[in-house]
Amino acid sequence: MSKNNHNFPVLGNKTESIIEKFEFSNNSSPKAVISGKPYTIFNSNDYLGLRFHPELIAAEHQGSKTFGTGPGAVRFISGSLQVHRDLEQAIARFHGREDAMIFSSAFSANFSTIPALSDSKTLTISDKLNHRSIIDGIRAASLPSENRQIYRHLDYDHLSEILTQNAGKFTRCLIISDGVFSMLGEIVNLKRLRQICDEFNSLYPDGVLLYIDDAHGVGVIGNTGRGTEEYCQAQADVLCGTLGKAFGCDGGYITASKTIISFLRESAAGYIYSNNLSPGTASAALTSINLVASQKGQTILKKLHSNMRFLGVKHAIKPVIMGSPKKTLELKQKLFDQGILVTAINYPVVPQDADEIRLQLSASQSQTEIKTLLSLLDDSHS
């Protein structure tokens, strides 16, 4: 093999902390053990603390015992198992939809679904700060530049301007946004987006579809954890979600009308040509969705909401903006030295000079642990 052309640039410090195991105590959240030392976790997407829940672990074991460790094939060959369909139906019920379909990840769901819903007569309009999976999904559609528009972050007047300027040029419009923007914990004004879609719908012959990726919203916000739709009291036409954050498992999903889901089963490449979730994971996810919808799950959700109120945030994500890679990494190391695990978010994940420490709350954390974190942050800024 040639030794030439292997000089790839390093864009930032993405050193990973390898977790050796977890320690559990009745008086605190699970601790990540790194190099033999326990750390309090403030950088996990496990918002409800469900990945260690005994009911999910038991369901995963039973699912593997019943169906094996893998699906054995893609869905249309022999990889559709009863547990997969049960999970899709549970997702649809949870979100008040007609149907749903599961993917290996939420990234795959966006990357597969957005191109399937886009053609040469479709105008896609995306929020400037949308997740990378949305950006790549739009790119994968291979549309001309005039079919791809970006509106200023949360600037709904700018979105309306783009829709007005392009009326008559396209038959369909696909407006795409995160429900919760993962770097800042900002919540989209979904009701306003819904109003805009309905206002301009008649100007596009095949309509204006609203597509929301609510990976960080579902299981976190809304009185019962139904995410941005419940929080804003408005509904998207197509909703992307994840099983790998608040639900404590793995995988992604799309939920929508039966017509849209039936179309996507025949056109979404990541669904057709990629293996499905393992039966164990699907079984755990099914148990998780039913748990969150139950009174027991609602009690867990209330604990998360209590922690959010304690920190004074509307979402479980709290960014600490540092502005430079050096300051961000220094703060990360200071907290690490004190037994707190956080992540430094640097360019290109965030724009240059917008480096941050992203704090993430969980229902498993105690308010004593949150107080300790806040005290250490105050000391670092004094």
Write out the catalytic residue numbers. 182, 216, 245
Beta carbons within 10 angstroms of residue 45's beta carbon: 20
Residue at 51: amino acid letter: R
Q: How far apart are CA 339 and CA 333, in angstroms?
A: 10
Q: Cβ distance 367 to 310 under 8 Å?
A: yes
Residue (of 130, 90, 39, 97) closest to 287 by Cα position: 90
Q: How far apart are CA 363 and CA 305, in angstroms?
A: 8
- 3-state SS, residue 44: coil
Residue 98: burial class (beta carbons within 10 Å; 0-12, 13-18, 19+): middle
Please, which residues have CB within 8 angstroms of residue 191's CB and are 6 or more apart in sequence? 232, 233, 234
Please, which residues have CB within 8 angstroms of residue 149's CB and are 6 or more apart in sequence? 123, 124, 125, 126, 162, 166
| Helices first, then strands: H and E counts in the chain | 13, 16
Beta carbons within 10 angstroms of residue 199's beta carbon: 12
Please, which residues have CB within 8 angstroms of residue 117's CB and are 6 or more apart in sequence? 174, 209, 211, 238, 264
Q: Where are the beta strands (DSSP E) in the chain?
A: 21-25, 28-34, 37-41, 99-103, 122-127, 148-151, 172-178, 180-181, 186-187, 208-213, 238-242, 252-256, 317-321, 340-341, 343-345, 356-360
